[in-house]
Amino acid sequence: MSEPTIRPAGGDADLEAVRGMILAYAREFGFGLCYQGLDAELAGLPEPYAPPGGGLLLAEAAGAPVGCVAFRRLDAEACEMKRLYVAPAVRGDGLARRLCTSAMAEARRRGYRTVRLDTRADMVAAQALYRALGFAAIPAYYPDAEAGLAFFEKQLDSGTRAA
């Protein structure tokens, strides 16, 4: 398979590909559609990830979708990275890292100074990736956090205030 390219998702076909990958992620890790309001989120895409406050990135290889990541606004200086997914066929090739760095670069361009995220506490590989990217463990950043989640934060290099 060719080297994946990463670009902003746009248009119905891209949104349908992202929906499919998020659903594949939910099935793989045993999440129901009620988990974090996933059913409503999928129905409303590209919100809450639409510009100017958010971003939705799609990775493709040989014309096929192979990964995605998104971010959404938390406040004027912080965003939340969500929905990182890499298809099993291309795992282990560094695509997850590339998706994260692309999302962080776009967040920085949008003026965010901080990126936060949550992940399941049992997702050891994901946590190792986030730590390698400079994320540090933090307390929960939202009040109704579910048990079994781990929270991380990274300060971005520089930027102006988000729109």
- pLDDT at residue 32, as a whole number: 62
CATH class of the structural domain 5-155:
alpha beta
Average pLDDT, rounded, for the chain: 91
Q: Please write the tens of the pLDDT for every residue from 118-153.
A: 998 899 999 999 999 999 999 999 887 778 899 999
Q: Please write the tens of the pLDDT for every residue from 92-117.
A: 999 999 999 999 999 999 999 999 99
Over residues 36-48, the mean pLDDT reads 88
Give the span between the Cα atoms of 104 and 81, in whole angstroms: 8
Residue for token digits 């939202």?
Answer: 142
Strand arrangement, sheet containing 64-73: 5-8, 55-61, 64-73, 78-86, 114-120, 149-155, 136-138
The b-or-e profile of 65-98 (16+ CB within 10 A means b, else e) is bbbbbbbbbbeeebbbbbbbbbbeebeeeebbeb
Return the domain boundaries, the chain: 5-155
Query: Per-residue confidence at 160, pLDDT binned at 50, 70, 90?
Result: very low
